[in-house]
C-alpha cells in the first residue's frame, strides 16, 4: 500500500456521531432528502432553503478556518460591557512548520448578508506543547486547564482524572510505529449543566449588534472526545509501548531518516467542540450588510469572555462567479456540497467483468448544482490553503494535531461485493471483500507534510481508471466518495455511495448483520447531516475504510461501541446487543481490543503484553471466542440476538 493511502488511512477518522433519541416531530424518512429535517427545510438546497449551517471555530485566541488559515482582524471596534476587547495581531500558524509559532493572520471569514444561518458548530480550543512533561503526574496539566486556559472561569469543582488510554499509530515509510498516551479529565460541575446557552450576535462595521439568536448547548448533538470533539486531556506522543503494567515513561521512538519528525512531545489540550444542530429551525438572520463586521459568541458559563470572529459580509448578488454551470459558464457558488462520481459504461453488456478497466470522473458541486472545480483538474493544495478553491478542503496535518479535528480528508474507496461485507476482527486478516482506496490519491495526503517537494502545487486529474481484480466476485459493488467544503461560514462533509454491477445483472444487498441506527438517527438527527454525511442505509459500508490496525483511523466495531457506551444520550440498555446487532454471528468475535472499547480494565493485567501487540499471533485482535468466550460461553450479562 502506498504512502498516500496509508496517510489517508492513518489520519482519516470516520467518527460516528453520538446516538441520541431526542426525536423531534420531524417526520422525514432517512435517505429521502440530502438535507436536515423536512424537505421544505433543506440546508443543502441552496440559498432559498431556509438557512445555512454556521460553523464558528476558535483556537488559542483567534478565529480560524478549516483550511488552516487564521482569521485576521479587520478594524471593527469590539466591545463587551462597554469595555474594548482587543483581537490579536498575531495568531498561531497551523500552516507553518511549527504550528504554535505566532505570525500575522491572513484569512477572511466571509458571511452572506441578507441570509439566514443556524448554529451548527461552536468550537473553542487552547493547546500548549511541552509545558507539562511529567508522565507520572498530570497535576500541572490540570491546573493549567483550570486556572490559565481560556476555560479558567468555569466551575471545575469535582473534576477528576478519567481514562488513561494508549493508542497505536502506524504509517509505513513515514514514521516508526509508536503509541500515544492520553489522560482525560472530566466530571467537572460545569460539564453537568444542562441549560447553558450560546448567544450569537451579528455586529456591523461600527461594532453595533444588528441581530442575535440564542442556542441551547443541548441543541448541539455531538461533543464526545471519542467522536473527535470536546476533550480536556494531557497527551504524550511518539512513545514506545509500555514495558510493564504501570509503565508511564517507556521512552520515545527514534523515527526514520527522511520521515516525519517524531521528537518527544507532550500536549495539553482544552477544547469544547459542539456539533450538529438538532434545531435548525432556530435561525439567525444576517441583515443586509456589506464589508467588515464581526460575529460575537457568548457562552453563558463564560459570560465575561465572549469570542469574536472577524467577518466580511458579502451581499448574495455580489458573490464572484467562481463556479461553473454544466456548459462551463461562470456562475456564483452556493453553499452546500454534493460529491459525485460518474462511471464509464461497461465495455460489453450492462455489468463490468472481472479484470475490466473502469473509468470514473470525480464531480464536486454545490447545493445548486454548480461545479466547484474545473472539468479536468481538482484544485492544488496551495489553492486550498490559500482560500482559492471554492471551499474544497484537504488534509492539513497541523490542523489535525493542533485542533484534534480529523474530519477534513477527501477520499474515494471502491469495495465489493457488498453481500460479503463482514467486519474484520483482525485487521491483518484478508477481507472477504475487495476494499481499497481509490488507485490514485484524490488529494495526496502527503502534500502538506513536506515529504514530497513540489506536491503542494500539483493538481490531480478528475478522471482516473482502476482495474477490477481478475477474480472479482459477482455482485453489487460500491464506490464511496467523500469530500469536505468550508465556504460562506458553512463547514460540511458529504459522502455519497455509487453502485455498479460486476459479473451479473442481479443486484445484491448488504449482509444485514447490523443496523437499526434509524431508531434514533432520523429527522434532525439523521446521519446524513453528521460527520461524513452518509445515510444509515449504508452503515455496513463503514468497514470499507475502517479496518486498519492503526488507532488513528479506527475500526468500525470499536468506534461504535466506544462512542455509544460513553454517551450520556444513549437511551438503551448498554448490555442489550440486539439494539444494533441483527444476527447472533455478528456478536461472536470478542477480542481484547473490541471488548476494551467498553470494558477498559477487563482481565486486569493478565494479558498486558498481548494488549500492546498489533500484529502476529497472539495480538490484541485475537479471537477470544476460540478460547474462553465462544459458543455458550459468551458473556452472560449481554443480551444477544437469538441464534
Q: What percent of the chain has pLDDT over 70?
A: 88
Each residue of 120-159: pLDDT tens digit? 999 999 999 999 999 999 999 999 999 999 999 999 999 9
Short-list 383, 387, 385, 366, CA closest to 323: 366
By CB neighbour count within 10 A (0-12 exposed, 13-18 middle, 19+ buried), where does 555 fall? Answer: buried
Same domain, 100 and 146: yes
Task: Give the start-end residues of each E strand in 319-392.
Answer: 323-324, 330-331, 338-343, 357-365
Same domain, 542 and 629: yes
Assess if residue 144 is contained within a domain.
yes
pLDDT at 86 over 80: yes
Assess if residue 25 is contained within a domain.
no
Same domain, 634 and 598: yes
pLDDT the model gives residue 436: 66
Q: Would you call 311 helix, strand, or coil by DSSP?
A: strand
Assess if residue 387 is contained within a domain.
yes
Assess if residue 134 is contained within a domain.
yes
Q: Would you call 121 helix, strand, or coil by DSSP?
A: strand
Assess if residue 2 is contained within a domain.
no
Same domain, 309 and 336: no
Assess if residue 64 is contained within a domain.
yes
Do 71 and 309 contact (CB within 8 A), yes or no? yes
Residues recorded for the chain: 643
Short-list 545, 425, 561, 533, CA closest to 478: 545
* CATH at 485: 2.60.40
Assess if residue 129 is contained within a domain.
yes
Same domain, 217 and 106: yes
Same domain, 149 and 191: yes
pLDDT the model gives residue 128: 95
Same domain, 332 and 268: no
Short-list 121, 122, 123, 128, CA closest to 149: 128
pLDDT the model gives residue 305: 96
Buried-state track 385-403, b at ≥16 Cβ within 10 A, e below 16: bbbebbbbbbbbbbbbbbb
Domain residues for the domain of 138 are 52-314
- pLDDT greater at residue 18 or residue 422: 422
The residue from 298, 314, 330 where one domain ends is: 314
486's CB contacts (< 8 A; 6+ apart) are 55, 65, 66, 67, 391, 393, 492
Same domain, 348 and 302: no
The residue from 277, 299, 314 where one domain ends is: 314
Q: How many domains does the chain have?
A: 3
Assess if residue 43 is contained within a domain.
no
Same domain, 519 and 494: no
The residue from 314, 337, 371 where one domain ends is: 314
Same domain, 383 and 302: no
Query: If pLDDT is split at 50, 70 and 90, which confidence band does 406 have?
Result: low
Between the CA atoms of 482, 488, 489 and 495, what dihedral angle is there, to the nearest 10 degrees?
-10
Same domain, 371 and 469: yes
592's CB contacts (< 8 A; 6+ apart) are 602, 603, 607, 610, 611, 620, 621, 622, 624
Query: Is the peptide bond prior to 464 cis by the omega test (within 30 degrees of 0)?
Result: no
Same domain, 75 and 148: yes
pLDDT at 24 over 70: no
pLDDT at 512 over 60: yes
Amino acid at each position: 500500500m502506498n504512502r498516500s493511502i496509508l496517510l489517508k488511512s492513518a489520519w482519516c477518522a470516520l467518527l460516528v456521531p453520538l446516538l441520541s433519541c431526542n426525536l423531534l416531530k420531524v417526520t422525514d424518512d432517512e435517505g429521502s432528502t440530502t438535507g436536515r429535517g423536512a424537505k421544505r427545510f433543506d440546508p443543502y438546497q441552496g440559498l432559498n432553503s431556509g438557512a445555512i449551517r454556521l460553523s464558528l471555530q476558535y483556537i488559542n485566541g483567534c478565529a480560524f478556518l478549516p483550511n488552516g488559515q487564521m482569521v485576521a482582524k479587520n478594524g471593527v471596534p469590539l466591545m463587551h460591557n462597554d469595555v474594548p476587547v482587543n483581537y490579536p495581531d498575531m495568531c498561531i500558524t497551523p500552516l507553518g512548520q511549527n504550528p504554535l509559532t505566532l505570525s500575522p493572520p491572513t484569512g477572511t471569514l466571509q458571511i452572506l448578508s441578507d441570509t439566514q444561518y443556524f448554529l451548527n458548530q461552536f468550537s473553542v480550543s487552547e493547546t500548549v506543547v511541552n509545558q507539562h512533561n511529567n508522565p507520572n503526574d498530570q497535576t500541572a496539566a490540570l491546573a493549567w486547564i483550570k486556572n490559565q486556559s481560556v476555560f479558567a472561569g468555569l466551575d471545575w469543582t469535582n473534576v477528576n482524572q478519567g481514562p488513561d488510554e494508549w493508542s497505536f499509530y502506524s504509517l509505513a515509510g513515514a514514521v516508526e510505529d509508536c503509541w500515544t498516551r492520553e489522560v482525560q479529565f472530566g466530571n467537572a460541575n460545569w460539564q453537568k449543566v444542562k441549560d447553558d446557552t450560546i448567544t450569537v450576535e451579528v455586529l456591523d462595521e461600527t461594532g453595533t449588534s444588528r441581530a442575535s439568536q440564542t442556542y441551547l448547548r443541548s441543541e448541539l448533538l455531538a461533543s464526545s472526545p471519542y467522536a473527535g470533539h470536546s476533550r480536556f486531556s494531557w497527551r504524550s506522543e511518539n512513545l514506545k509501548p509500555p514495558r510493564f503494567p504501570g509503565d508511564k515513561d517507556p521512552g520515545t521512538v527514534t523515527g526514520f531518516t527522511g520521515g516525519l519528525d517524531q521528537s518527544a512531545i507532550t500536549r495539553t489540550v482544552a477544547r469544547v467542540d459542539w456539533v450538529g444542530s438538532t434545531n435548525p429551525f432556530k435561525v439567525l438572520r444576517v441583515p443586509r450588510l456589506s464589508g467588515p463586521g464581526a460575529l460575537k459568541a457568548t457562552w453563558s458559563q463564560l459570560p465575561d469572555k465572549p469570542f469574536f470572529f472577524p467577518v466580511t459580509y458579502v451581499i448574495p448578488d455580489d458573490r464572484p462567479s467562481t463556479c461553473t454551470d454544466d456548459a462551463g459558464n461562470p456562475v456564483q457558488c452556493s453553499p452546500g456540497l454534493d460529491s459525485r462520481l460518474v462511471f464509464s459504461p461497461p465495455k460489453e453488456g450492462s455489468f463490468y467483468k472481472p479484470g475490466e478497466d473502469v473509468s470514473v470522473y470525480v464531480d464536486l458541486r454545490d447545493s445548486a448544482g454548480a461545479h466547484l472545480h474545473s472539468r479536468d483538474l481538482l484544485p492544488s493544495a496551495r489553492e486550498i490553503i490559500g482560500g482559492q478553491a471554492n471551499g474544497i478542503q484537504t488534509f492539513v496535518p497541523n490542523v489535525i494535531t493542533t485542533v484534534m479535528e480529523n474530519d477534513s480528508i477527501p477520499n474515494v474507496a471502491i469495495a465489493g461485493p457488498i453481500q460479503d461485507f463482514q467486519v474484520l476482527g483482525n485487521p491483518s486478516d484478508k477481507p472477504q471483500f475487495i476494499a481499497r482506496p481509490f488507485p490514485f490519491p484524490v488529494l495526496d495526503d502527503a502534500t502538506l507534510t513536506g515529504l514530497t517537494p513540489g506536491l503542494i502545487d500539483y493538481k490531480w486529474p478528475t478522471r482516473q481508471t482502476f482495474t477490477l481484480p481478475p477474480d472479482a466476485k459477482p455482485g453489487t459493488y460500491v464506490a464511496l466518495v467523500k469530500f469536505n467544503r468550508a465556504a460562506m461560514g458553512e463547514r460540511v462533509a458529504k459522502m455519497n455511495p455509487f453502485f455498479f454491477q460486476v459479473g451479473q445483472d442481479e443486484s445484491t444487498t448488504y449482509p444485514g448483520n447490523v443496523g437499526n441506527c434509524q431508531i434514533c438517527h432520523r429527522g434532525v438527527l439523521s446521519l446524513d447531516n453528521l460527520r461524513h454525511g452518509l445515510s444509515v442505509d449504508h452503515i455496513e459500508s463503514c468497514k470499507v475504510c475502517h479496518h486498519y490496525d492503526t488507532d488513528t483511523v479506527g475500526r468500525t466495531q470499536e468506534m461504535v461501541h466506544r462512542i455509544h457506551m460513553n454517551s450520556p444520550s444513549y437511551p438503551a440498555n448498554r448490555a442489550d446487543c440486539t439494539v444494533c446487532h441483527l444476527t447472533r454471528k455478528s456478536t461472536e468475535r470478542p477480542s481484547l481490543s473490541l471488548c476494551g472499547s467498553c470494558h477498559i480494565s477487563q482481565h486486569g493485567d493478565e494479558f498486558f503484553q498481548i494488549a500492546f501487540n498489533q500484529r502476529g499471533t497472539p495480538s490484541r485482535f485475537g479471537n477470544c471466542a476460540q478460547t474462553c468466550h465462544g459458543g455458550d460461553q459468551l458473556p452472560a450479562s449481554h443480551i444477544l440476538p437469538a441464534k
